[in-house]
Amino acid sequence: MKVEAEAYTLLLASILLLISGVRVHAISYDHSVTTECLVEPQRAQYEGGIIVNPGFDQSLRGWTVNGKGVIEVRISKEGNRFVVARNRTHPLDSFSQRIQLEKGKRYAFSAWVQLGEETGTVSVVIRTNRSELVRGGHVIAQHGCWTLLKGGIVANFSSSVEILFESQNTEVELWVDSVSLQPFTKSQWRSHQDCNIERIRKSKVRFQIVHTNGTALEGTTVLINQIRSGFPFGCSINHNILTSKDYQTWFASRFQYTTFTNEMKWYSTEIKQGEENYSIADAMLEFTKQHNIAVRGHNIFWDNPKEQPQWVKSLSSEELQKAAEKRLNSVVSRYKGQLIAWDVVNENLHFSFFEDKLGQNASAEYYSKAYKLDQKPIMFMNEYNAIEYSGDKAVIPEKYKKKLEGILSYPGSEGISVGIGLQGHFVSGQPNLAFMRSVLDSLATTKLPIWLTEVSVDKGPNQEEYLEEILREAYAHPAVEGIITFSGPAIAGFKDMHLVDENFRNTPVGDVVDKLLNEWKSGSVQAKTDSRGFVDVSLFHGDYDVTVTHPVTKSSTTLNHSVKKHTPQKIVRVHV
C-alpha cells in the first residue's frame, strides 16, 4: 500500500486561481516527502500529473517497452503494484510513455525506483522526436527498498516526447512506481515563489507603544528603517577594486557580502614555492572591514589538477603533503576570525588531485584541520553543475551527501560546521528551474546551510530574464541561506555578466540585481498605533532602527531591533 505524502508548503490556491484562471495543484518544496529508502513507495505526487496510470493500478495501460527486454507489473506482499523491466541489454531498455509538452511550461518530475540487485544510478530521460536525449534527474537506487527520483524539465518547444528511465547496469532489474509529471505555467511558478518568499523571508512583528506609566499611546508614529538585510545577497570582487574609487563606491553602496574571485587562491598567494604574498588579499580584506562587508574565503585548495600553482604539479606525494600542510596552516591562520566561510577543497566531486596523490581521505583531513585552526567559518563543499546542468552525474545529490558524510565522520571532525556550496554558472539558455528545485529539495534533507556561491548567466538575448528567474528560485527556497553572484563592473574584467559598464551605468543584469536588492528589503515603514498602542507589520529578516514619536510632545526615542528567521512572534514593548 502506498503511503500518502503530505505537502510542505502554504501555497495559496486562490492566488493561483486568480492568476491562471484554472485549478492547479500546489507546487511543493518536497521536505515532507521523505527521500529515505522505504519498504513501500509513497503515492505519486500531484496524483501523477499528466502521466497516465502513474501507479500501475491498471496494469501497463499507457506504458510500452523501450528497447529490448520485457516489462511486467508485479504485486508486493502488501498489494502494491509496480512495473519491472528485465532481460535488459542497454541502459535505456526500460518502459516509456509518450506525453505532450507545451512550450514555456515547467515540468516537475518524480518517481520511486528500486533495482532488483545491487546499487546504481537511475535517471529519468526525455527523448524528443529527433531522438535527442535530455536527462532530467538522477538518484542512486538500491535493492530492497524504494528511493525517490526527482527532477524536472523545461519545455522550449511544443511537441510530443517520450519519458523513459535509464540504468547503466543492464544485468539487474529496474523497478519503478508512482510516476509523476506535473506542468506549471510561468505565472503559476512565480506565484509560488512570491508566496514562499513572504512566508520564509519575512516575519510578523507587533510593537506596543506605551507611556512611562504603562498606558497605551494611540496615534503614536512608528518609523521602521531596515539597516541590514538578514539574508546574505552579495557579489564577488577582484583586485581592481583596490585601484578604482568608482568601483569601491559602487560596491559598498549595494553589497554587504562578497567573495574574492582569485586573490586568496593558492596560485595567487604563492606563485613561487616558498614565496608567499598575501598583500593583495590583505588589502581587499581591509576594504571590506572598513565597509562592514562579510567575506567568504575562496579557496584553501582546488582539486582540479589544472588549477594548482605551476610548481605544485611536479611535486612528489611526500613533497605535496608538506606543501599542502604549509598552505593550509598559513592561509587559515592568517585570516582566522575574519571570514564567515571557507571553500575548503573546491570542486572535489569533479576532481581528485589531492586524493590521487595523498589518499582518499585527503579532503576530509583538510576540512578537519581547517576547522581546528578556525572554528568561526562554515567549511563548504563547493561544486558546479549541481543545479545548472541536469546531465552531470558527478554531482547528483546522493554523491554530494556521501562526500559530506565522509567529511563529517572523519576522526577529529566532531563539531565541524559544514555547508553546501552550489556555484550556479548557468549557460545562456532557459534555466531548468524544476530540476534546480529538485536538487535543492534533496540537499535540504541534510539540514546543512546551502549557498549559491558563484551565480552567473552567460551572455544571450534573455540574460537578465534568466538571471532573475534563477535568483528568485534560490531566494524562495527554504534551504538556501545565501547567494553570491560572480559579477561586477566591466572595468574589472567581468565580461560575461557585468552589472555596470565602463562608466558605472547599470546594464540590464545590473538593473535586475538592484531591483531584487530593493524588493527583498523592507526599506522604510511608517505606521500609527491603534487605540491599544499596537502596530502590526510584516518585515523582511534583518536589523532595524525603530523610531517612536510621541503624538503630543513630539519627543522621540529610537531602539534597535532584529527580525530573525524562526523567531516566534512576540510583542515588542516601547516606553515613551
For residues 383-393, b (16+ Cβ closer than 10 Å) or e, as one string? bbbbbbebebe
Distance from first CA to last CA of the chain, Å, rounded? 63
pLDDT at 555: 87
Q: Alpha-carbon distance 126 to 84, whole Å?
A: 19
The pLDDT of residue 552 is: 87
- The residue type found at 359 is G
Q: Which three cell numbers stand for residue 261?
A: 574571485
pLDDT at 11: 36
Q: What is the pTM of this model?
A: 0.92
pLDDT < 50 regions, the chain? 1-26, 30-34
Q: What's the pLDDT at 35?
A: 52
pLDDT value for 570? 75
pLDDT digits (tens, 9 = 90+) for 304-359: 999 999 999 999 999 999 999 999 999 999 999 999 999 999 999 999 999 999 99
Q: Which residues, at least 6 apart from 213, have a Cβ–Cβ distance to it below 8 Å?
A: none
Number of C-beta neighbours around residue 559 at 10 A: 13
Rg (CA), the chain: 26
Nearest alpha-carbon partner for 386 in 395, 378, 377 = 395
Give the rounded distance of the alpha carbon of 435 from its chain centre. 11
385: alpha, beta or left? (left if phi > 0; alpha if psi -120 to 50): left
What pLDDT, on the 0 to 100 scale, is given for residue 27? 54
Bridge partners of 73? 83
Burial 504-540 (b: 16+ CB within 10 A, else e): beebebbebbeebeeebbbeebeeebeeebbbebebb
Contact assessment for residue 331 and residue 300, using Cβ atoms and an 8 Å cutoff: yes
Range 408-441 burial, b when 16+ CB lie within 10 A, else e: bebeebeebebbbbbbbbbeeebbbbbbbbbbbb
Residue 266, classed as helix, strand or coil, is: helix
Helix, strand, or coil (residue 9): coil
Single out the residue of 49, 42, 59, 45 nearest to residue 113, CA to CA: 42
- Sequence-distant (6+) residues with CB within 8 A of 163 are 51, 96, 97, 98, 99, 109, 124, 125, 126, 127, 179, 181
Q: How crowded is residue 26: how many other Cβ atoms within 10 Å of its Cβ?
A: 17
Instruction: Identify the structural domains of the chain with CATH numbers, from first to last.
Output: 13-192 (2.60.120.260), 203-226+528-575 (2.60.40.1120), 232-243+291-519 (3.20.20.80)
Residue range 203-262, pLDDT digits in tens: 999 999 998 888 999 999 999 999 999 999 999 999 999 999 999 999 999 999 999 999
Contact 400, 349 (CB under 8 A): yes
How far apart are alpha carbons 401 and 113 in whole angstroms?
19
List, by residue number, the catalytic residues.
347, 454
SS (H, E, C) 91-129: CCCEEEEEEEECCCCEEEEEEEEEECCCCEEEEEEEECC
C-alpha cell at 224: 521602521
> What pLDDT was estimated at residue 565?
85
Cα–chain-centroid distance for residue 530?
41
DSSP 55: T
The closest alpha carbon to 98, from 152, 57, 153, 159, belongs to: 159
